[in-house]
Chains A and B, each alone.
Chain A
């Protein structure tokens, strides 16, 4: 059974600071995703990581993937209040053609002025 663990689950940080969210998964997978969810809203796709060593950046967010370690990171640079949200990583389940996703529990990020 594929397990996806995120940490930390709660993150309170000051504006301007840097921090990293970690996502570990238990079995080999083809793809890893990062999503953002605002309160009461659905998921917004941030990144799709397809291969070992993949790194993607968008604004103050950068995601990387190490398939050997089964680890992805979401790095936040110089945080601003607008980044406050819940961030989920999700991994394709191995096998089959439907690419079912297993989600981590999410990291609730609060950026304080």
Chain B
């Protein structure tokens, strides 16, 4: 149990376009979902925390107008990278948790902005 999926797994887009990444908890209801980004050979950096039905909480230095997060249901959160630029190219990983349980990580989405 506790499977988290992400879609797409890879996406290539042109500079200036927007990209949406989906994160789903497949077999449990996630009270909280987290979005991380990871640059090559670096650690994971938390971008934002989202609770179902409420606005996401962004970490310091993360632009909320650029990285739009929607947590519309207990099984789905979306991250939209608006007006993407090459510096937004990264590996984006979501995680989901229920209550005080541990976080379960998705397989990640590799975004390349040309």
Contacts and interface: CB of A to CB of B under 8 A. Distances in A.
Interface of A: 31, 33, 35, 40-43, 45, 48, 88, 90, 97-106, 108
Contacts of A104: 43
A42 B107 contact: yes
Interface of B: 32, 34, 41-46, 49, 51, 93, 97, 100, 102-108, 110
A105 B43 CA distance: 5
B89 to A, nearest CB: 14
Nearest to B102: A48
12 contacts: A35-B105, A42-B107, A45-B104, A45-B105, A90-B44, A97-B100, A99-B100, A100-B34, A100-B49, A103-B45, A106-B42, A106-B43
A18 B108 CA distance: 31
B37 to A, nearest CB: 12
Contacts of B106: 42
Contacts of B32: 98
